[in-house]
């Protein structure tokens, strides 16, 4: 498949959540705390838009398109983590 000249994904930032982007480091702050992640070794550009985080790549092949979607998913999960939190349940069965 041919390379696409421009690929992007946008992640909306809800009210009460603050996102800081410096280079490839993303910090998400919300009512339940703060999360920080570095996406340094990936061929993408992360920037802030109007109420959203934009992940983009130029001249993207198959792998770069996949990376853009994956990073968008990570940032979306970070936003969910600082707003709703995560709950893990473990059930142990002994037979």
The pTM of the full predicted model, rounded to 2 decimals, is 0.87
Flag whether pLDDT at 68 surpasses 80.
Answer: yes
DSSP string covering the chain, please? -PPEEEEEEEEE--TT-EEEEETTEEEEEETTEEEEEE-TTSS-EEEE-SSEEEEEEEEE-HHHHHHHHHHHHHHHHHHHHHHT-----------
Residue 94: band (very low, low, confident or very high) from pLDDT cuts 50, 70, 90: confident
Residue 8: band (very low, low, confident or very high) from pLDDT cuts 50, 70, 90: very high
Q: Which of 10-19, 22-31, 72-81, 86-95 comes out lowest in average pLDDT?
A: 86-95
Ordered by start, the domain boundaries in the chain are 19-83
CATH superfamily, domain 19-83, is Ribosomal protein L6 (3.90.930.12)
User: Which of 14, 54, 48 has its CA nearest to residue 31?
Assistant: 14
């Amino acid at each position: 498949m041919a390379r696409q000249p421009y690929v992007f994904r946008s992640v909306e930032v809800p009210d009460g959540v603050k996102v800081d982007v410096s280079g490839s480091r993303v910090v998400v702050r919300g009512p339940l705390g703060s999360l920080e992640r570095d996406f340094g070794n990936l061929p993408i550009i992360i920037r802030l838009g109007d109420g959203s985080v934009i992940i983009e790549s130029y001249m993207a092949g198959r792998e770069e398109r996949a990376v853009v979607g994956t990073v968008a998913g990570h940032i979306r999960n970070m936003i969910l983590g600082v707003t709703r939190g995560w709950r893990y349940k473990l059930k142990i069965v002994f037979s």
